[in-house]
Structure 1
């Protein structure tokens, strides 16, 4: 564990924890690493409001504190960092119950939403329902966002494209940004969204009825549903 840096100046474990974790963005970096982000560019892309300079500063801080460690392939959580999982997702449960409501316009970022979604896709159903192959392509089209997005899963490795990759599309998801956010975060059930006409899918027979198996929701969706 890194050497303690004085903050609130109180000899208390909560105070010490806040010295390490209390700065803006720090817990969001930990959140993204808990759900699989390891490379600098991936962490940066998942936190578009955070400058790369400040991200580098925060990562050095977490490394000195013994919460993350750096390797040739990126960053990983230490035992200390992994022990933050119940704290981070406990905050999700508290937030879902007490402060989480209708989205604000400035919180709706279509590209960020697709970035979050891309690592949560399970394309095994697409492989079984559609043409077999090593590549699956999901096209995400927003009614209120001119930019289009493609999620390409090539040999199990997902990536996001904002230009047509030129591959045959296996599944198209159509929605507006707000509605798909609410679906992704568990505020709006998939079946309800489809019944209201704010979510539609085009793809192999049977996939629309089992979309939740392909589009696995946010890791915090359970907390939102149970709030």
Structure 2
């Protein structure tokens, strides 16, 4: 690890947290990820080798610990980073966020985030299937909700309860908190096709990003 050579707590913190991808790993651990593959899926561009190195660095600094089953969890030192990470979200939403750039609109990443935030308790069982189609991207996705939510990249061949149809930018902006799902739906920017009961269940089960409230609060009125 490179050092700044300064006896300063800010320097020491930056030496540990300033490497590429480290803050993203901590972000994902704070918001529910526990597995190596979950951290990979939530960070396209992060190689498995580099993730292994970053996890070893964080373990060595007692920021995370690894359980016998292979899962990763934050220590008390790691959990103390929550206000730091969400403080960065507040600063970023206020000063750097703005509208998404085209290269930032990755449908695979958005679907990974979105399916992990769906609340299975808000949809009828035993199985609730959601199809997502984009008007400006050829990929299709399916989310199957039972006791949890599973993201499918191929048609699972289940009856579809709700089809979500929109453009990629609109769904990103809705998920990140620029606008509420109900407002996007009422405005016709997001189509929800299905029975009234199924559409209502999806509206209730959909949860925005963990930083959506921050983005919403910092967005221009």
Q: TM-score, normalised on structure 1?
A: 0.90
Residue in structure 2 matching 1:89, options 86, 91, 100: 86
2:182–2:203 contact (8 Å) kept in structure 1? no
Tell me the distance in 2 between the aligned counterparts of 1:6 and 1:100: 29
Residue in structure 2 matching 1:180, options 171, 177, 192: 171
The Cα of 1:206 is off from its aligned counterpart by 4.6
The Cα of 1:21 is off from its aligned counterpart by 0.5
Q: Would the alpha carbon gap of residues 73 and 203 (structure 1) be closer, same or farther in structure 2, given more than 3 Å must change? A: farther
1:126–1:170 contact (8 Å) kept in structure 2? no
SS at match of 1:146: strand
The Cα of 1:161 is off from its aligned counterpart by 0.5
The Cα of 1:137 is off from its aligned counterpart by 1.5
Q: Would the alpha carbon gap of residues 12 and 120 (structure 1) be closer, same or farther in structure 2, given more than 3 Å must change? A: same
Structure 2, gaps ≥5 residues long: none
The Cα of 1:125 is off from its aligned counterpart by 3.4
Q: Name the Cα RMSD after superposition.
A: 1.6
The Cα of 1:192 is off from its aligned counterpart by 3.2
Partner residue in 2 for 1:148:
140
Q: TM-score, normalised on structure 2?
A: 0.92
Residue in structure 1 matching 2:128, options 136, 140, 143: 136
Partner residue in 2 for 1:130:
none
Tell me the distance in 1 between the aligned counterparts of 2:24 and 2:75: 16
The Cα of 1:13 is off from its aligned counterpart by 0.8
Tell me the distance in 2 between the aligned counterparts of 1:116 and 1:25: 17
Structure 1, gaps ≥5 residues long: 128-132
